[in-house]
């Protein structure tokens, strides 16, 4: 096997495999080293399993609420064993797709533990490989809290939960991250009694305040314990303590879904002198302090989403091989597969004000949109757009309701190219679709 490459990538998650594909497509010789499975968290135990479960749970939920559409369904049943079997097929298919995409562009995939041994060398399977550039995409892992009972067999991370063939009748989620909320919503839809416990005082602190309140009100099937912590897990029961009281919640299954910590140890970062404390520090081009060594994705701690990692991969590969590019954090889209969905891109009113940007806010209830009304009837929904008063540029789009995540691409494109209100008003929006709210909301501006 060849031991010299143009690029060695450590970690084959969403960032690592995207970089391998992109560099391969540019004609570079790429070695991708992964100690576990191709696809990383996203494909195996994260986004893809979650979305697969969400799809089944959503259909299940919709079939219980068909009468108002004039459709009568006699019986509906959710079979977790079949859902998980489907998930396994989809995961396997996507993983194989990744392998083919990389290999048909000449990339080499090695399943092994990698270790940096120098600026341009990586050791794996007792062989030293060298490359002009090295890309670290080692990802992050869930932080497991130290807690009596945390080692009980019914305490899981998503790795085990998303493989559980029976739907737990009660699920307790420890953690207040967006992902925790997402999983809570999926299992509640499928019929679990879900409790979410976090020591944070509020959920989704970065989301627009009004939209956050709407979402949390509509997720009333979930029992939230904010500002609380768990004291122990014993006999399928989670003991909670909050400033006001202590109580116990029944838990057939417990999911740990708190913070995720960048994977920094065990592969030679210190020896090579890479600047890392709780994360690897990189610049807008994904360069670390060590020349020729780049880092992307969760390990950088900048934005821990698969789509951010994939974009960082593109930036890093572009920069390595001479194309001007940079990672722009302000246009990272955000959405959750809750029911209804929440989606946003750009600055909230609060974030804009914190930066001293004078803004104007446009808001429109989604029930004003024909398509939304047809699809969702009386469900609530909202579109809020943040406009920079100085330039009339739209700098934030925040949505709640229905399947609003479908609009986030269009909104991101508008932000990336700094569309002004008058530019958007000159676009044609297909009718009747939800996309029209992006124009109609701006029409509310005075």
Rounded distance between C-alpha atoms, residue 395 and residue 348, angstroms: 8
Q: In this complex, which beta carbon is closest to other proteins, that of residue 243 or of residue 291?
A: 291
CB of 323 to other proteins, least distance (A): 9
Nearer to other proteins, 67 or 277 (CB): 277
* Distance, CA of 441 to CA of 418 (rounded, Å): 17
CB of 97 vs other proteins, minimal distance in Å: 27
Q: Which is nearer to other proteins, 235 or 277 (CB)?
A: 277
Q: Smallest distance from the beta carbon of 366 to other proteins, in angstroms?
A: 27
3-state secondary structure at position 326: coil
End-to-end CA separation in angstroms for the chain: 66
Query: Smallest Cα–Cα separation from 394: which of 346, 427, 428?
Result: 346
> CA 305 → CA 42, 52, 309, 310, 420, distances in Å?
9, 17, 6, 9, 28
With residue 248 as reference, give the H or E element that holds it: strand 246-250
| Interatomic CA distance for residues 148 and 145, integer angstroms | 9
Whether 131 contacts 2, CB under 8 Å: no
CA angle, residues 43, 46, 50, in degrees to nearest 5: 105
- Please, what is the minimum distance in Å from the beta carbon of residue 19 to other proteins? 19
Under 8 Å between Cβ of 394 and 420: yes
Residue 280 CB, nearest approach to other proteins (Å)? 11
**Whole-angstrom Cα distance, residue 385 to residue 344?**
10
Inter-residue long-range contacts of 327-331, CB under 8 Å, 24+ positions, other chains counted: 327/284, 327/285, 327/286, 327/302, 328/416, 329/302, 329/303, 330/395, 330/415, 331/412, 331/415, 331/416
- Cα distance between residue 38 and residue 33, in whole Å: 9
Picking from 78, 106, 86, 103, the residue whose alpha carbon sits closest to that of residue 5 is 106
Q: Which is nearer to other proteins, 255 or 357 (CB)?
A: 357
Rg, Å, the chain Cα set = 23
Q: In the complex with other proteins, which residue's Cβ is closer, 138 or 288?
A: 288
Name the residue nearer to other proteins (CB basis): 256 or 395.
395
Residues binding other proteins (CB under 8 A): 270-271, 273, 275, 277, 281, 283-284, 287, 289, 291, 324-326, 328, 388, 391-393, 416-420, 423
Which residue lies nearer to other proteins by CB, 149 or 333?
333
Q: Nearer to other proteins by C-beta: 161 or 395?
A: 395
* Beta-carbon contacts of residue 228 (< 8 Å; ≥ 6 apart): 197, 198, 199, 240, 241, 242
Q: Which is nearer to other proteins, 6 or 209 (CB)?
A: 6
Nearer of residues 81 and 326 to other proteins, judged by Cβ: 326
Strands (E), 257-358: 260-262, 293-295, 334-336, 342-346
**H or E segment and range at residue 440:** helix 436-443
């Amino acid at each position: 096997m060849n031991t010299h490459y143009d690029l060695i990538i450590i970690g084959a998650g969403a960032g690592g495999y995207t970089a391998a594909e992109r560099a391969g497509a540019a004609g570079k010789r790429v070695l991708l080293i992964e100690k576990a499975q191709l696809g990383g968290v996203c494909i195996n135990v994260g986004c893809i399993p979650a979305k697969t479960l969400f799809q089944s749970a959503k259909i299940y939920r919709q079939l219980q609420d068909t009468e108002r559409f004039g459709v009568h369904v006699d019986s509906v049943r959710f079979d977790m064993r079949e859902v998980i079997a489907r998930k396994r097929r989809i995961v396997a298919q996507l993983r194989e797709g990744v392998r083919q995409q990389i290999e048909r562009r000449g990339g080499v995939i090695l399943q092994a533990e990698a270790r940096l041994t120098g600026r341009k060398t990586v050791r794996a399977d007792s062989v030293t490989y060298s490359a002009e550039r090295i890309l670290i995409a080692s990802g992050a892992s869930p932080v497991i809290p130290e807690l009596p009972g945390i080692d009980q067999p019914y305490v899981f991370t998503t790795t085990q939960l998303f493989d559980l063939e029976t739907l737990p009748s009660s699920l307790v989620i420890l953690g207040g991250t967006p992902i925790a909320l997402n999983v809570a919503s999926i299992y509640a839809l499928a019929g679990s009694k879900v409790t979410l416990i976090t020591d944070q005082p509020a959920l989704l602190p970065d989301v627009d305040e009004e939209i956050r309140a709407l979402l949390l009100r509509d997720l009333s099937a979930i029992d939230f314990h904010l500002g609380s912590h768990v004291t122990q897990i014993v006999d399928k029961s989670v003991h909670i303590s909050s400033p006001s009281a202590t109580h116990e919640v029944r838990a057939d299954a417990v999911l740990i879904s708190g913070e995720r910590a960048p994977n920094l140890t065990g592969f030679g970062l210190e020896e090579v002198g890479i600047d890392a404390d709780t994360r690897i520090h990189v610049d807008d081009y994904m360069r670390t302090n060590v020349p020729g060594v780049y880092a992307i994705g969760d390990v950088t701690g900048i934005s821990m989403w698969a789509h951010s990692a994939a974009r960082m991969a593109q930036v890093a590969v572009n920069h390595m091989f001479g194309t001007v590019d940079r990672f722009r954090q302000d246009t990272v889209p955000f959405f959750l597969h809750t029911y209804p969905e929440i989606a946003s891109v750009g600055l909230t009113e609060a974030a804009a004000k914190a930066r001293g940007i004078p803004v104007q806010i446009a808001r429109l209830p989604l029930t004003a949109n024909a398509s939304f009304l047809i699809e969702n009837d009386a469900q609530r929904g909202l579109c809020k757009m943040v406009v920079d008063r100085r330039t009339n540029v739209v700098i934030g789009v925040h949505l709640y309701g229905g399947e609003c995540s479908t609009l986030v691409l269009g909104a991101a494109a508008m932000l990336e190219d700094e569309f002004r209100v008058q530019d958007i008003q000159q676009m044609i929006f297909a009718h009747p679709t939800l996309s029209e709210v992006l124009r109609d909301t701006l029409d509310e501006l005075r």
